[in-house]
Amino acid sequence: MAMIDEPLYPIAVLIDELKNEDIQLRLNSIRRLSTIARALGEERTRKELIPFLSENNDDDDEVLLAMAEELGVFVPYVGGVEHANVLLPPLEGLCSVEETCVRDKAVESLCRIGSQMREADLLEFFIPLVKRLAAGEWFTARVSSCGLFHIAYPSASETLRNELRTIYSQLCQDDMPMVRRAAATNLGKFAATVEPAHLKTDIMSMFEDLTQDDQDSVRLLAVEDCAALGKHLEPQDCVAHILPVIVNFSQDKSWRVRYMVANQLYELCEAVGPEATRTDLVPAYVRLLRDNEAEVRIAAAGKVTKFCRILSPELAVQHVLPCVKELSSDSSQHVRSALASVIMGMAPVLGKDATIEQLLPIFLSLLKDEFPDVRLNIISKLDQVNQVIGIDLLSQSLLPAIVELAEDRHWRVRLAIIEYIPLLASQLGVGFFDDKLGALCMQWLKDKVFSIRDAAATNVKRLAEEFGPEWAMQHIIPQVLDMINDPHYLYRMTILHAISLLAPVMGSEVTCSKLLPVIVETAKDRVPNIKFNVAKVLQSLVPIVDQPVVEKTIRPCLVELSEDPDVDVRYFANQGLQAIEQVMMSS
């Protein structure tokens, strides 16, 4: 055993723990691999540490994942770019483990290293590695290889490039669907590095193979390739080769493929350009909006606004709007919900008249939807609504919906609406808020569900922040303080919580004059839970109020509580007193 000097002890332990039986310790050591590397020096890192890691790649996935990640940023520790190639062997091993996330990370790290490597090194080390992986016995290695071609290709010679393209095309036809999926996923990246001449021939024929794959799971990944390839093709080639594929995909037998088209629609439109979008993709999109499968309609509905933005208003009104009308009364609540979350954005596209005439009825019907999510989605985009239809119309139709949601029997719905209240308040302004919503905010403080009361207290604070202390003095503080005498101790507790949140917003003066007396009064409550919460609140007030107030009011009150028969009350009271001492000491 080597003698280890005292200062080196921690690093020695760290190194030893690379092989500890406890996974947490191994993980810890791997995460500090750079420290170990620096302690060993660059040369020994290259000659000992990296080979050591290559040999020990049968560890738990968590450790391997961490190793794959660390090695990606390891170039400086092995002596810079000229030695980067020593990092390839351990990562190559990690590229064929069966856990996908480890492989993905290893590929990511290899790409990162490969993009720094010198051209000669890429030729000597990186490209052979890609070829080895692509010819791997197990599908795992072949899957990983697909993600490396775009790094290898640019520095390859003409013949080598031919070879790489051939290999990739074989991967696109691999027996294993997993490999074909990986090839489809990475085709766009690879295509970006391929010369235009080969792009039109080789890559397009691989793409064609993938688009006709038997496996839905492969075809649906080819949908993404449409957009990616489209970016690298000339517009006319794009229309000639990509557009028919998209149109076909939009009528694919498999709903999952159609779903992908609906989901990728915007990117696909960008790929083929506005002209082809208008002529060919509008009918395709309309079909998707009327698809049999709700999942497809959900995806399509979510893209309504983005799609309409590329179209002229006339086309949008003529083709898309009728579908939108149908969707607003779709049988699937999720479709309506998806529509509700984007439909507001259509207003600027259609212009004011069309909006009032066509969109408003849809909007109002969604606002009255029986499904809370739909209503919430509309309300959350209220700023856009406001701009379009104006506050009066809005308040007429909006208010009943909000009130209804505020009293929904599902507490999660109530919670969601409470969280929107400050936003609503800022959008609607003080006047509107006072009339209609103020009472609701107070009502929530007495909700049956704790989470709602808790959220209500936070809401009150945020309102005070939004409208300022003066407004709060009038509209919040009196009402809140009123409720401190509620017969139910849980409600009194909520009020205490609200007060503690309000105090920092209201400032020292209001706190001393209005809030503190109430709290001190509450310290005489008969319920211990209230009393120790008083102690906690008092402690939180110490930094807010002035020194004399602490001495005159807070301390005596805490002292009194510290003699309470209840142990918890005494505990928190003493905590408060200690906090006061600390503030005294530091000031």
Partner 1 sequence: MNGGDGGEVTAAPPAGPPPPLEWKFSQVFGERTAGEEVQEVDIISAIEFDKTGDHLATGDRGGRVVLFERTDMKEHGGSRRDIERMDYPVSRHPEFRYKTEFQSHEPEFDYLKSLEIEEKINKIRWCQTANGALFLLSTNDKTIKFWKVQEKKVKKISEMNIDPSKVVGNGSASSSTVSSSPKPYLANGAYPDRSYSCLNNDMTFPPGGIPSLRLPVVVTSTETSLVARCRRVYAHAHDYHINSISNNSDGETFISADDLRINLWNLEISNQSFNIVDVKPANMEDLTEVITSAEFHPTHCNMLAYSSSKGSIRLIDLRQSALCDSHSKLFEEQEAPGSRSFFTEIIASISDIKFAKDGRYILSRDYMTLKLWDINMDSGPVATFQVHEYLRPKLCDLYENDSIFDKFECCLSGDGLRVATGSYSNLFRVFGCATGSTEAATLEASKNPMRRQVQTPTRPSRSLSSSITRVVRRGAESPGVDANGNSFDFTTKLLHLAWHPVENSIACAAANSLYMYYA
Query: Which span sits near partner 1 by CB under 8 A: 132-140, 195-203, 281-289, 457-465?
Result: 132-140
Q: Is 119 in the site for partner 1 (CB under 8 A)?
A: no
Q: Is 32 in the site for partner 1 (CB under 8 A)?
A: yes
Among 45, 144, 155, 533, binds partner 1 (CB under 8 A): 45
List of residues 6+ apart from 98 with CB closer than 8 A:
140
Q: Is 471 in the site for partner 1 (CB under 8 A)?
A: no
Token readout for 81 is 């770019």
- The nearer residue to partner 1, 38 or 325, going by C-beta atoms, is 38
Nearest approach in angstroms of CB 471 to partner 1 is: 45
Among 28, 384, 529, 562, binds partner 1 (CB under 8 A): 28
The full 3-state SS of 555-568, as one line of letters, equals HHHHHHHCCCCCHH
Q: Is 82 in the site for partner 1 (CB under 8 A)?
A: no
Among 163, 267, 293, 525, binds partner 1 (CB under 8 A): 293
Q: Is 25 in the site for partner 1 (CB under 8 A)?
A: yes
Q: Is 38 in the site for partner 1 (CB under 8 A)?
A: yes
Q: Is 69 in the site for partner 1 (CB under 8 A)?
A: no
Nearest approach in angstroms of CB 121 to partner 1 is: 24
Number of neighbouring beta carbons within 10 Å of residue 351: 12
Number of neighbouring beta carbons within 10 Å of residue 504: 16
Q: Is 333 in the site for partner 1 (CB under 8 A)?
A: no
Number of shown-chain residues binding partner 1 (CB under 8 A):
66
Query: Which span sits near partner 1 by CB under 8 A: 55-63, 316-324, 461-469, 481-489?
Result: 55-63
Nearest approach in angstroms of CB 528 to partner 1 is: 33
Nearest to 275 by CA among 321, 315, 322, 221: 315
Q: Is 215 in the site for partner 1 (CB under 8 A)?
A: yes
For residues 423 and 407, give the distance between their C-alpha atoms in angstroms, rounded to a whole number: 19
Q: Is 353 in the site for partner 1 (CB under 8 A)?
A: no
For residues 179 and 135, give the distance between their C-alpha atoms in angstroms, rounded to a whole number: 12
Distances (CA, A) of 292 to 150, 247, 251, 253, 254: 39, 17, 11, 11, 11
- The nearer residue to partner 1, 12 or 583, going by C-beta atoms, is 12
Among 85, 109, 140, 386, binds partner 1 (CB under 8 A): 140
Nearest approach in angstroms of CB 139 to partner 1 is: 7
Q: Is 95 in the site for partner 1 (CB under 8 A)?
A: no
Among 198, 256, 290, 536, binds partner 1 (CB under 8 A): 256
For residues 405 and 114, give the distance between their C-alpha atoms in angstroms, rounded to a whole number: 55
Radius of gyration of the chain (CA): 33
For residues 95 and 108, give the distance between their C-alpha atoms in angstroms, rounded to a whole number: 10
For residues 537 and 548, give the distance between their C-alpha atoms in angstroms, rounded to a whole number: 18
Distances (CA, A) of 396 to 363, 399, 402, 442: 13, 6, 11, 22
Q: Is 384 in the site for partner 1 (CB under 8 A)?
A: no
For residues 281 and 251, give the distance between their C-alpha atoms in angstroms, rounded to a whole number: 12
Instruction: Tally helices (H) and strands (E) across the chain.
Output: 43, 0
Q: Is 135 in the site for partner 1 (CB under 8 A)?
A: no
- DSSP 8-state secondary structure symbol assigned to residue 233: S
Among 104, 163, 270, 295, binds partner 1 (CB under 8 A): 295
Contact set with partner 1 (CB under 8 A): 1-5, 7-22, 24-25, 27-28, 32, 34-35, 38-45, 48-49, 52, 55-56, 58, 96-98, 100, 138-140, 176-178, 181, 214-217, 252-256, 292-295
